[in-house]
Amino acid sequence: MGHPVDRSDDDLLRAVAGGDTAALRVLYERHAPWMSVRLMRRCNDQGVIAEVLQDTFVAVWRGASGFRGDGDVGGWLWGVAIRRLVSRLRSAGRTTQFVPLEAVPERAEISVEERVLTGVEYGDLGSAMGRLSPEMRAVVQACVLDGLTEREAAQLLGVQRGTVKSRLHRAKAQLRRDLVEGLT
């Protein structure tokens, strides 16, 4: 087994399923920091974020055996956390608002790394995303990047499910058009 610090996330999760709090601690040290930052980029209430993070790891403790074991522990954890955030924001009566990734304008020049990272080989996905309205970008972020269903995204954003559907549809159409224009 080895020292918990040297073990893989999958391994740790299996140990957590067996009731090992030391393994949970190591998972927490590895994942809580980035998860807290990512939650902070979506919610402006520190108290809510602390609760969501706590709920998430308690849920992990109780449901660790439900992990499919495909290696993407980070993705699985984030899936739990973002859904906890959805239900927290809903039960908070929407006094705490979901904050889309749009508060700060992008720097004019985009570094090479960022281009590669966003998978931009032709056209310019970055600037195409930037031209989407904030509402449409929020829908793309929730459905595509956070992997929420349309229903969950609707709860998170406080709009009707049909609205999410149509905004996502229009956003994809606009992105496609922009990227094709970028080619010519």
Partner 1 sequence: MTDAASWHADGDALRRWVSGTAGSMTSISVEQHVQRCADCRSAVATLVPAAPLEQVWDNVLADVEMPRLGVVHRLLRTVGVGPSDALVISSAVTLRFAWLCGVIGVLGFAVVAQLLAFDHVLGLFLVAAPLLPVAGVAAAYGPSVDPMYELVQVTPYLMVRLVLLRTASILVTSAPLTVAVGLLMPAPTAVAIIWLLPAAGFLAIVLTGSIWYDPLYLAGVVIVGWITAVIVAARFGHQLAVLAPGALAGYAGIAIVAVAVLLSRVIGSTPSWRLR
Stretch that binds partner 1, among 39-47, 83-91, 150-158, 163-171 (CB under 8 A): 39-47
Name which of 63, 61, 64, 34 is nearest 49 in CA terms: 34
Site string for partner 1, 124-143 (x = CB under 8 A): --x--xx------x---x--
CB 123 within 8 A of CB 182: yes
Torsion angle, alpha carbons of 128, 155, 117, 166, to 10: -30
Q: Which of residues 55-74 bind partner 1 (CB under 8 A)?
A: 57-58, 61, 72, 74
Residues in the chain: 184
| CA gyration radius, the chain | 19
* Structure token pair of residue 25: 């601690």
Alpha carbon distance 23, 61 (integer Å): 10
DSSP type of residue 144: I
- The smaller minimum CB distance to partner 1, of residues 15 and 129, is found at 129
- The smaller minimum CB distance to partner 1, of residues 77 and 89, is found at 77
| 14 counts as binding partner 1 under rule CB under 8 A | no
- The smaller minimum CB distance to partner 1, of residues 30 and 161, is found at 30
Least distance to partner 1, CB of residue 157, Å: 16
Stretch that binds partner 1, among 82-90, 113-121, 154-162, 168-176 (CB under 8 A): 113-121
| 91 counts as binding partner 1 under rule CB under 8 A | no
HSE-CB for 40 with a 13 A CA cutoff: 8
* Structure token pair of residue 177: 């058009």
| 5 counts as binding partner 1 under rule CB under 8 A | no
> In terms of C-beta density within 10 A (0-12 exposed, 13-18 middle, 19 or more buried), how is residue 52 classed?
buried
Among 18, 21, 176, 180, binds partner 1 (CB under 8 A): 21
Residues that bind partner 1 (CB under 8 A): 21, 24-25, 28-34, 36-38, 40-41, 46, 50, 53-54, 57-58, 61, 72, 74-75, 78, 101-107, 110-111, 113-114, 116-118, 121, 126, 129-130, 137, 141, 145
